[in-house]
Structure 1
Amino acid sequence: MRWTLKPSPAPEKVQSLSQSLHVEPLVALLLIQRGIETYDQARQFFRPSLDDLHNPYLMKDMDKAVLRIEKAIENSENILVFGDYDVDGTTAVSLVSSYLKTIYPNVATYIPDRYAEGYGISFAGIDYADDNGVSLIIALDCGIKSVEHVAYAKSKNIDFIICDHHRPGDTLPDAVAVLDPKRADCHYPYDELCGCGVGFKLIQAMGAGRGQTIDDLLPYLDLVAVAIAADIVPITGENRILAHFGLQVINSFPRNGIKALVYLSKKQNFDITDVVFIIAPRINAAGRIRHGNHAVELLTEADFDQAVLYASEIEKYNADRKELDKQITTEALAQIEQNREQEDYTTVVFNAGWHKGVIGIVASRLIETYYRPTIVFTESGEKYAASARSVSGFDVYDALERCSEHLEQFGGHKYAAGMTLKKESYSRFKTAFEQCVRDTILPELRTPEIEIDAAIDFSQITPKLTRILKQFEPFGPMNMAPVFVARQVTDTGFAKKIGQDEAHLKLFLKQGDSEGFAAIGFGLGKKAAVAADRKPFDVVFCIDENEWQGAVSVQLRVKDIGN
């Protein structure tokens, strides 16, 4: 594990911001590292405001999208809201469909079957729309590359509005409107929205034309916050505002589907991490194990008791998902060991029987053991389908583009992507992908890295600092929880392995004469000997709070320890 201390900003910058905000230089340093250098920027960071959301009409084609929807309503057309089967897609479909149904009845939803139809807009979905007299499809979290599908729909007199956030290809679909802040010709001020976020901008634009304010749309932000957390988009700009207020909705007046998930979790207050690890996997499990429709039913259910029943079913799907995940990961690790080559730059594995719904999770698990760009393939009809995951700093989407001659289709982001290919292309693709990564990955990206914001002494960890750091939330990409390193720390004899398989480490750390702190190191059970040696060591950690029987105390979340 590499420890990398981030460059410190210029001392005069730190001093200036520290004085302007009346905060410790350490806090000013952390803010500057996040691109916050002025009083006004700090005010926006610490006090997110819905007033700072951008005008939705700044997004290319937004006017066309709203006009087409209003025309459909005026002419009593049937509208189909179509979205992907993951969290971002199902929340987006739930958001847009539930909003439209408050003003218009002829609205239906469609989630493609992960196994029969695959990712994104499907010909089967368009045929379903045609059979049911639909003349307008609103596609969410997908469609930016669906040139053939949109043309097919047009031949059946069905219009499309695309609401996506993935990178476009060379040609845009011939839709009535293509809403995607990553379009080269779109000058919307913020291009890191998730699919559900783009859907929210659409209803924000519609609401403006109907005299609604942003306060009228607050109830939809629980869905947006869940999508932002699950899709691992940067928690900056608009995403920070939407996540901040979305978490407030989740914790105060969530829709019945999310309320049911919260109720079954028996947890009182949710932060972004809880959304990532409790709510998102359960919504995802519906599409992974059964069908994404189950997630939309849950998230649009008006009756709480019925929502609890739906949530209980999804809880079972999630339990099944965990079992499959564990089983397939074990099989994949065995396959890697069997075919292990010392200098492999990638992991590419295949088994025809692996469940398509969990191969993305398995790819992430494999990176925990073999830190390199990873693709997990399974059989899907006459083709092979796969999920790719990457290591920090390496763009797997770009790598797939370089190997695209071997692929039928692909799409995704820098760190996560999906693809299909013909069976006979598998070996050629595997060779090409290995060579591409070998040629392009920087040597340092082949070793896991912990980025450290600052070196501090335990004496600096005060209740005031802890309170201020809590105001940095919600955490996520581009605004991760601050990471610190402390030197010459000792454990006071409490070091012990805990948890299943003794995988975790519990400590009580001291540094010199300063106050000691309880600490927990998840996945660090193997480092117990270093801590128990009674010799000073360095520790990398985040500062957390631990609540026990009503009492709140500082707890260090240890990320690594070293001599």
Structure 2
Amino acid sequence: MLNSRKKWRLPDTYYQDGSMAEYILRERGYTIPVDDFITVSEEKLLSPYLMKGMKKAVSRIQIAIEKQEHILIYGDYDADGVTATSLLYLILKDLGAKVSYYIPNRFEEGYGLHIEAIKKAKVNGISLIITVDTGISAITEIEFANQQQIDVIITDHHEPLVEIPDAYCILNPKYAPCEYPEASLAGVGVACKLATALLGQLPIDYIDIVALGTVADLVPLVGENRILVALGLQKLNQQPSVGMSALIQVTNLNNKTITSGHLGFQLGPRINASGRLETATDSVDLLISEELDKALLIAEKLHNINEKRQALVDDTYRQVEEILLAEDQYLKNNNVIVLANENWNHGVIGIVASRIIETYYRPVILISLEDGIGKGSARSIEGFHMFNALQGCESLLDKYGGHAMAAGLTIQAENIPMLRNKLNELAGNQLSEEDYLPTVATDIVLTIPEVVIQQTEISTVEQLAPFGMGHAQPKVVVSGAKCIGLRTIGKENNHIKFTFGAGHYKLDVIGFRWTDKISSIENTEILADLRFELLGDLSINCWKDKQNPQLNLQDSVVSPIQFAESEEQAKKITKVLQEHFFNVQCISTSSMQEQQILKLCTEIYTEKVYVNPLQHKCIYVIIVDTKVEQLLQKSYRQPNREEFSTVYKIIASEQLVEKGNLIDKCAKLGIAEEFCNYILAVFEELEFIAIKNAEIKLSANPQKRKLEESKFYLEMLRKSMMFKKHMNY
């Protein structure tokens, strides 16, 4: 609560007024208008034939349909694989194909193509296999299929190995010869491109299934992924497919507007659950259902399996954490966490690995052992490419595959210690101490009064949805907030509802699983004396016909500048800060070092990164005298746009004016001389005016330009906004 173990990367500029959505897009590097960004349509999607191999794949499938060859769709057991399997099955059925599907059992067979499954396919008369979300590393298996006169079309999105399977054709945007512009498609996204080519149009009847798999696979929600998910959400909220409708009902979402958050955290996990604990067949059967009654029974079964999965994840997480805490030196001596256990369920260790990263922020591989063979799930952090790292350990592995941030592997138990040592060596060479502190990109810095007053603008930010990987829910820093109340909530009282305030403005803040963070503070009453920087997601909470802003709290840090009403309160604050931080300085108007100390304090904060106080020396300033606050308020106030406009109108009306006369006229209108000089400096830089010998002349036909184009304006704005945010003016 008092300190952060993350680096906060602040926006390049500070929000003043106007469209919050436009400001956030601009900070994220977009140059298109908000209306263009939020408008999604099929027309913005690329031609599927830009993907290498598409024409050949479509031709082969059309021949198979025409000749009524038996086609097998071979998928994966996660949500991406399940949705991709379901999509192609439905499309081929609609086209009149003779089609079946097969998904290997996670526990009996494991990931990917298997020779035994190909043998069964041959016995069943299969002449064409289409893989979805798998196949790019199945060199031996596809060679065997070729020997059986079975053609294999690979549709996949995983990283290819050095050697590529000799398949009939390959559809994979990450495959080097493929120059398809959208390399981040999910497996179901690649399947959707194939379906589009087969149909001659987007498979809009099943686009909600595409959206589910795309979000669940955690691919970046930008470009085509964003369009596919947005179109899928439209369908989900208007006329969902039968299976999705059943899933929505059992999760009690039928009276809500479905968002990408619901796909990722409620619907997706239920589709994933069957493949994690049992067989993924139930999930496919749900998504291809044509009868709602049947679909509801399957959806209820998946819901129950998911509850078991949640309990298993919690139990496994506790076991992993007990191991880490029991071995005092483990975290100190290991850059990469590699743990194995015979009692861990292979179906949930990937989720547990993700939770371990949230807590300890370092690469993790958890391995489930059985009969001397380990099946592992790997998750990584920025700066450590997990797939490349496993390539460097290839001689120790039976099988592996994946991406930069996640991978799977099979390994002999005796090789695990060597794998741990090799990965730690690689991480030691690639990662610095800074890399083990997660960086959080923040989008906007606001005070509580701004949050309350700007409710309408906050609600319009939702137009930028769908949010997800690569296009996250905007992260807001609420600055200079004082805690005026807190209480525990939730069935297990493990969440905290705070009330933070500034002046007479208040903001509700929810800290999920924040009870432990509060329990580390001996006396929570001290929170009322401190000012905080809060980081989280802002939303508008509707309750009993009232709409109020609410912050979902993700991180917090004590503000670098504190105000105390008395010497006694200053001593209390100093004591707390000295227990947690390096240096604290109290100042008053009698101090001759005020500006010097404040400069020291804010130097760190002039960078784009909020620096972790546990890792970097920092000075915390407590201001005991309100006169100092008044002094700073005067020194760092910024002219508003109305004052800029007033000065420009005076100059424009006279064309040529002496500077002294202009200052006098501005003074009568309440614009101070220092503000007038400031405005003139900006106007001169923007070439609105020319100043010579104390005479100000309006430029002939000045070009229309924004104030933000002035470097002087931006620099002064940065300084002004920094103090405004910290001091809550």
Work out the CA distance in 2 between the residues paired with 1:325 and 1:467: 35
Work out the CA distance in 2 between the residues paired with 1:321 and 1:477: 24
Q: Deviations over 1:320-343 (max 9, x none)?
A: 111211222222222223334223
Aligned to 2:561: none
Letter in 2 for 1:315: H
Residue pair 1:90, 1:292 contacting (<8 A) in 2 also: yes
Q: 1:326 to 1:160 in 2, by over 3 A?
A: same
Aligned to 1:407: 397
The reply to whether residue 140 of structure 1 matches residue 142 of structure 2 is no
In the TM superposition, what is the alpha-carbon distance from 1:500 to its structure 2 partner?
4.5
Work out the CA distance in 2 between the residues paired with 1:381 and 1:304: 43
Work out the CA distance in 2 between the residues paired with 1:369 and 1:559: 13
Residue pair 1:150, 1:160 contacting (<8 A) in 2 also: yes
| Equivalent in 479, 496, 507 of residue 517 of structure 1 | 507
| Equivalent in 1, 6, 14 of residue 2 of structure 1 | 6
The alignment partner of 1:357 has SS state of coil
Q: Deviations over 1:187-230 (max 9, x none)?
A: 1121110000000000100111xxxx43xx21211111111111
The reply to whether residue 242 of structure 1 matches residue 228 of structure 2 is yes
Work out the CA distance in 1 between the residues paired with 2:296 and 2:68: 34
The alignment partner of 2:174 has SS state of coil
Work out the CA distance in 1 between the residues paired with 2:165 and 2:430: 31
Matches within 5 A, 1:355-504: 355-380=345-370, 382-461=372-451, 462-493=454-485, 495-504=486-495
Residue pair 2:509, 2:550 contacting (<8 A) in 1 also: yes
Aligned to 2:642: none
Q: 1:491 to 1:425 in 2, by over 3 A?
A: same
Gaps in structure 1 of 5+ consecutive residues:
16-22
Matches within 5 A, 1:111-130: 111-130=103-122
Work out the CA distance in 1 between the residues paired with 2:72 and 2:526: 59
| Equivalent in 276, 288, 301 of residue 288 of structure 1 | 276
Number of aligned residue pairs:
543
Aligned to 1:561: 556
Work out the CA distance in 2 between the residues paired with 1:127 and 1:396: 33
In the TM superposition, what is the alpha-carbon distance from 1:115 to its structure 2 partner?
1.1
Q: 1:291 to 1:7 in 2, by over 3 A?
A: same
| Equivalent in 542, 549, 556 of residue 537 of structure 2 | 542
The reply to whether residue 165 of structure 1 matches residue 157 of structure 2 is yes
Aligned to 1:257: 243
Q: Deviations over 1:386-427 (max 9, x none)?
A: 001112443222221222221111111111110011222122
In the TM superposition, what is the alpha-carbon distance from 1:6 to its structure 2 partner?
3.5
In the TM superposition, what is the alpha-carbon distance from 1:351 to its structure 2 partner?
0.8
Range with bigger deviation, 448-457 or 382-391: 448-457
Work out the CA distance in 1 between the residues paired with 2:401 and 2:26: 34
Range with bigger deviation, 252-261 or 81-90: 252-261
Aligned to 2:210: 224
Residue pair 1:387, 1:418 contacting (<8 A) in 2 also: yes
Gaps in structure 2 of 5+ consecutive residues:
519-523, 559-729
Aligned to 1:505: 496
Range with bigger deviation, 134-143 or 423-432: 423-432
| Equivalent in 314, 317, 338 of residue 326 of structure 2 | 338
Work out the CA distance in 1 between the residues paired with 2:311 and 2:549: 35
The reply to whether residue 84 of structure 1 matches residue 79 of structure 2 is no
What TM-score, normalized to structure 2? 0.72
In the TM superposition, what is the alpha-carbon distance from 1:287 to its structure 2 partner?
0.5
Q: Deviations over 1:99-151 (max 9, x none)?
A: 10012241000001101111111112211211100000000000111111111
Work out the CA distance in 1 between the residues paired with 2:297 and 2:526: 47
Range with bigger deviation, 293-302 or 336-345: 336-345
In the TM superposition, what is the alpha-carbon distance from 1:34 to its structure 2 partner?
2.5
Work out the CA distance in 1 between the residues paired with 2:500 and 2:142: 60
In the TM superposition, what is the alpha-carbon distance from 1:530 to its structure 2 partner?
7.7
In the TM superposition, what is the alpha-carbon distance from 1:25 to its structure 2 partner?
6.3
| Equivalent in 300, 307, 318 of residue 312 of structure 1 | 300
Range with bigger deviation, 93-102 or 530-539: 530-539
Range with bigger deviation, 129-138 or 321-330: 321-330
The alignment partner of 2:474 has SS state of coil
Aligned to 2:179: 187
Q: 1:530 to 1:235 in 2, by over 3 A?
A: farther
Matches within 5 A, 1:270-285: 270-285=258-273
Residue pair 1:505, 1:524 contacting (<8 A) in 2 also: yes
In the TM superposition, what is the alpha-carbon distance from 1:289 to its structure 2 partner?
0.9
Aligned to 1:19: none
Work out the CA distance in 2 between the residues paired with 1:94 and 1:81: 9
Aligned to 1:37: 31
Letter in 2 for 1:24: G
The reply to whether residue 353 of structure 1 matches residue 348 of structure 2 is no
Identity among equivalent pairs (%): 34
Residue pair 2:455, 2:540 contacting (<8 A) in 1 also: no
Work out the CA distance in 2 between the residues paired with 1:129 and 1:43: 50
Aligned to 1:97: 89
Residue pair 1:286, 1:295 contacting (<8 A) in 2 also: yes
The alignment partner of 1:310 has SS state of helix
Q: Deviations over 1:448-477 (max 9, x none)?
A: 333222322234331331232101111112
Q: 1:469 to 1:531 in 2, by over 3 A?
A: farther
Residue pair 2:389, 2:423 contacting (<8 A) in 1 also: yes
Letter in 2 for 1:150: I
The alignment partner of 1:502 has SS state of coil
Aligned to 2:144: 152
Residue pair 2:459, 2:539 contacting (<8 A) in 1 also: no
Work out the CA distance in 2 between the residues paired with 1:380 and 1:174: 32
Aligned to 1:18: none
Residue pair 1:394, 1:445 contacting (<8 A) in 2 also: no
Residue pair 2:9, 2:439 contacting (<8 A) in 1 also: no
Range with bigger deviation, 248-257 or 126-135: 248-257
In the TM superposition, what is the alpha-carbon distance from 1:531 to its structure 2 partner?
7.7
Letter in 1 for 2:264: V
Range with bigger deviation, 335-344 or 81-90: 335-344
Aligned to 2:48: 56
